[in-house]
Amino acid sequence: MSSRRSARASRFTEDEINHLIFRLHASLQHHSNSTCNKKRSAAKILKRTCNYIKKLQREVDDLSDQLSQCLASGDINAADADIITRLLRL
């Protein structure tokens, strides 16, 4: 019986899901180049969100590769070293 209660307690209501979808849509609008405000389905918003996350992951991978090459080359000036050090502390 307690497992049923915990399962119910962890479920989101439809309103909560709609609110989260709305927030995702607003975030995507903020980060996209388009100014289109037309209403989208939840499935399309989730798909765009997944695509945006994949794009960010590719950018992180590319930057990580560039950082590795920079560090391996040893051709780093003091300003670059300071920036890299501060970024790695985040």
Query: What sign for the dihedral angle of Cα 42, 44, 45, 49?
Result: positive
Amino acid at 9: A
Q: What are phi and psi of 76, to 5 degrees?
A: -125, 130
Query: What's the pLDDT tens digit per position in 29-41?
Result: 877 655 455 567 8
Domain residue limits at 63:
2-89
Q: How many domains in the chain?
A: 1
Please indicate, yes or no, whether the overall pTM of this predicted structure exceeds 0.75: no
Query: What's the pLDDT tens digit per position in 56-65?
Result: 999 988 888 8
